[in-house]
Structure 1
Amino acid sequence: MTGSGFRERYLDVLASIYLYNEHRGYTSLDRVLDAVRQRCPDDAEFQAEIAKHRADEEKHYRMFRRWFERQGRMPLQVDSGVGHIDRFIQWVFRCSIEELDTSEIVGSEDDFERLCRVIMLTEQRGYAQVEIILKNRLIMSDPVMKRIFQIVHKDEPDHFLPYQRWLERQGRATAKWNERAADWCIHKILMLAKLPALFLDAGRPRLQRWPDEDDAITAH
Structure 2
Amino acid sequence: MLQKAQRRFLDVLASIYIYNEHRGYSSIDRVLLAVRARHSSERWFIDAVEKHRRDERKHYLMFKKYFEDLGRMPFAVDKSCGHIDRLIRLTFGCSIDELDTDAVTADDELFFRLCRIIMITEIRGMNQLDILLEDKLVTSDERLKKIFEVIRVDEPSHWTPYRDWLENNDGGKPKWNELTADWAVHKSLVFWKVPSVYLNPAMPRRTNWQDDGEAQGIMGAAAAV
Partner of residue 149, structure 1: 148
Aligned mates of 1:162, 1:77 — CA distance in 2: 32
Partner of residue 78, structure 2: 79
SS of the equivalent of 1:194 reads helix
Unmatched 5+ residue regions in structure 1? none
Aligned mates of 1:47, 1:136 — CA distance in 2: 36
SS of the equivalent of 1:212 reads coil
Instruction: Compute the TM-score of the two structures, normalised by the length of structure 2.
Output: 0.94
Cα drift, residue 214 of structure 1: 4.3
Residue 8 (str. 1) matches residue 7 (str. 2): yes
Cα drift, residue 172 of structure 1: 2.7
Residue 29 (str. 1) matches residue 22 (str. 2): no
Aligned mates of 1:147, 1:94 — CA distance in 2: 36
Cα drift, residue 184 of structure 1: 0.4
Aligned mates of 1:4, 1:216 — CA distance in 2: 39
Residues 1:105 and 1:79: Cα distance change in structure 2 (over 3 Å): same
Aligned mates of 1:111, 1:214 — CA distance in 2: 32
What is the identity percentage for the equivalent residue pairs of Structure 1 and Structure 2? 48
1:1-220 to 2 correspondences below 5 Å: 2-216=1-215
Instruction: Compute the TM-score of the two structures, normalised by the length of structure 1.
Output: 0.96
Residues 1:183 and 1:217: Cα distance change in structure 2 (over 3 Å): closer
Unmatched 5+ residue regions in structure 2? 219-225
| Displacement over 3 Å in runs of 4+ | 216-219
**Paired residues, number:** 218
Aligned mates of 2:171, 2:117 — CA distance in 1: 14
Cα drift, residue 6 of structure 1: 1.5
Q: Partner letter of residue 139 of structure 2?
A: M
Cα drift, residue 14 of structure 1: 0.2
Cα drift, residue 173 of structure 1: 1.6
- What value does the CA root-mean-square deviation take over the aligned residues? 1.4
Aligned mates of 1:176, 1:218 — CA distance in 2: 35
Deviations 1:18-48 (A, max 9, x none): 0000000000101101111112110000000
Aligned mates of 1:179, 1:99 — CA distance in 2: 19
Aligned mates of 1:136, 1:122 — CA distance in 2: 21
Aligned mates of 2:213, 2:3 — CA distance in 1: 33
Cα drift, residue 94 of structure 1: 0.8
